Chains A and B, each alone.
Chain A
Amino acid sequence: DGGITQSPKYLFRKEGQNVTLSCEQNLNHDAMYWYRQDPGQGLRLIYYSQIVNDFQKGDIAEGYSVSREKKESFPLTVTSAQKNPTAFYLCASRSQEVSYEQYFGPGTRLTVT
């Protein structure tokens, strides 16, 4: 099946710990994105990558880091510097050549206590 997978579905961490969220796609898409959703809100962009080994900060990048070593993978690390990390995290991708349409993974719910 073609699509975007995110793991784990639920993640619990203690304050002060870094945590890495996985995002993998087999759609052969060049561009990948990480968004954050807080309760009752729309999504906000954390980081994006348009090509392997290149990524850029989005609107709320502070306290997060990413890497893009492979076209298929775009992991997000939530660091201890992120002041309010508890949220729902969604990964997305799109083909740069076809259209601007983005497709989303199922998301990871992170709870930090």
Chain B
Amino acid sequence: GIQVEQSPPDLILQEGANSTLRCNFSDSVNNLQWFHQNPWGQLINLFYIPSGTKQNGRLSATTVATERYSLLYISSSQTTDSGVYFCAVVSAGGTSYGKLTFGQGTILTVHP
């Protein structure tokens, strides 16, 4: 099946710093989503971005489908950005029935 790799696994920042999280995937995709998992476990949808670039406030994301990677940019980080960031994809091949395959996540810690 499709493989999803996220980097870095851990990231520690000072408040106000910028960061880039990366997601590599091994096959063509119909869907790519970025999520933020908060301390209570809730998965918050950040972006639905199978291709192209989107921005939402201090966050933006770019997916280059032909090269099989996506980047999540966080600018002017805040302590509330802390948590785990997941990339998840739906493979375009076979009968994926919309199943999301998750990466292992990036644990982001923002210090005041």
Contacts and interface: CB of A to CB of B under 8 A. Distances in A.
**A and B from one assembly?**
yes
A50 B103 contact: no
A100 B102 contact: no
A2 interface: no
B98 A48 contact: yes
Interface residues of B, number: 23
Contact of B43 (A31, A90, A96): A90
B56 interface: no
A100 B104 contact: no
A30 B93 CA distance: 21
B78 interface: no
A58 interface: yes
Given A100-B31, A102-B33, A88 B41 contact: yes
B94 to A, nearest CB: 14
B18 interface: no
Contacts of B26: none
Interface string A71-110: 0000000000000000010101010100111111011010
25 contacts: A33-B98, A37-B41, A41-B104, A43-B86, A43-B100, A43-B102, A44-B102, A48-B98, A50-B97, A59-B99, A92-B100, A96-B98, A100-B31, A100-B48, A101-B33, A101-B45, A102-B33, A102-B98, A102-B100, A103-B45, A104-B42, A106-B41, A106-B42, A107-B41, A107-B42
